[in-house]
Amino acid sequence: MSTDISNAYNSDYIQRSSIFLKCGNKERVKVFVENESDKVFWWSILEPYQTIYNVEFDISDFVVDNKTQNGKSSILSKIEDSQLGRNLIVCLDSDLDELIDNFSCYSERIRRNKYIVTTYWYSMENVKCHPRNLRNLVTKLSLKINFPEDIDKYLEEISNELKEVYLYNLIFKEHHIGGFKLEDFSDILGAIQFDSVGLNIQKLHQKIGRWKLSHLILLDDTYRSELISMENKLFDSGFSSDCYWQIINGHFYQTNIVVPFLKFLVEKYRSEHLRQIYRRDDSAKEKEKMKLEYFFQTGTNIKGESIQKIIERELRLISTIPQCSALERIKSQIDNIYHGV
């Protein structure tokens, strides 16, 4: 369901409509999110408030060239600050609006209006792909418990390796300088590869080195001097260099960093488990039965579906948000509106 937001549709209107919509003693709260798929994420956070408020979710669509569009720009372009209030709020991905001045034409508005709640980290994908959730997913798809690989360390290693090039990316965005395209960063992340022993950090290191050599004209002293300033700015906002994965474009983070690592771990431990089955003294028929039972237990018995596709599907289905700085910040924003529950 989507709603056409007119000027008459505001927080006061939502509050008054509670009487006519038989909400009982509960105060009605309308929450606009970017897409249908975002509702589960935001519901997992707002669900405790349902005991007092009648929380409803909606999206705002508009048509351009006969195509329906929604998302962050759709909502913020159609709803005015005067329409927002405790009964009508907006929940969005943060992107870089709270880190980079004038990242978008809505940056200042997002920072100023308490009824615009954001993920704090770049997006929902960054929050959902928290190391704790990733560890649980590896166990779910392989049945391997207490595996030695440290997902936190992996993300820290990637973040620190990307540190300099990521800071340049932000500096160029803040100054609205061309030359560092979104595709450049995606291409760099594409160098994240795994061999038989794990992450091949050298390939990523070499890719970054080649990018820097081909962009020397951009990396002059003018912007090099701003690296420390930008790093300090991020640190003051709660992001040290070993957790830059939290503020990397969420789609890139999931596609280029999370999925390859999970695929490496899941395939490693599935192969290990299957080898143990094949080494048993049981009959071929019994071994086949054990293998099919393993596929069933891990939810991977769907013929023709690759491990990568299964991982991508499972990531979309994540609804649990572990305790983290993003969750603390989101709850703080919501409590600032409703003063706790």
Asked if residues 57 and 86 have their Cβ atoms less than 8 Å apart, the reply is no
CA–CA separation, 299 and 246 (whole Å): 29
Length of the chain: 341
Per-residue pLDDT at 110 = 95
pTM of the full predicted structure?
A: 0.88
Average pLDDT of 91-97? Answer: 96
pLDDT digits (tens, 9 = 90+) for 308-336: 999 999 999 999 999 999 999 999 999 99
Which amino acid, one-letter code, is at 153?
A: K
**What are the helix (H) ranges across the chain?**
11-20, 38-46, 72-78, 107-112, 124-128, 131-142, 151-174, 182-189, 201-214, 221-224, 227-236, 250-252, 259-278, 284-297, 307-317, 325-338
pLDDT digits (tens, 9 = 90+) for 242-268: 999 999 999 999 999 999 999 999 999
CA–CA separation, 206 and 200 (whole Å): 11
Structure-block tokens of residue 105: 């034409």
DSSP, collapsed to helix, strand or coil, labels residue 118 as strand
Could you write out the DSSP letters of every residue in 57-97?
EEB--EEETTEEE-SHHHHHHH--GGG-BTTEEEEE--TTT
Per-residue pLDDT at 6 = 52
Residues near 232 by Cβ (< 8 Å), separated by ≥ 6? none
CA angle 324, 117, 14 (to 5 degrees): 135
pLDDT digits (tens, 9 = 90+) for 174-218: 887 776 776 788 889 999 988 888 899 999 999 999 988 887 766
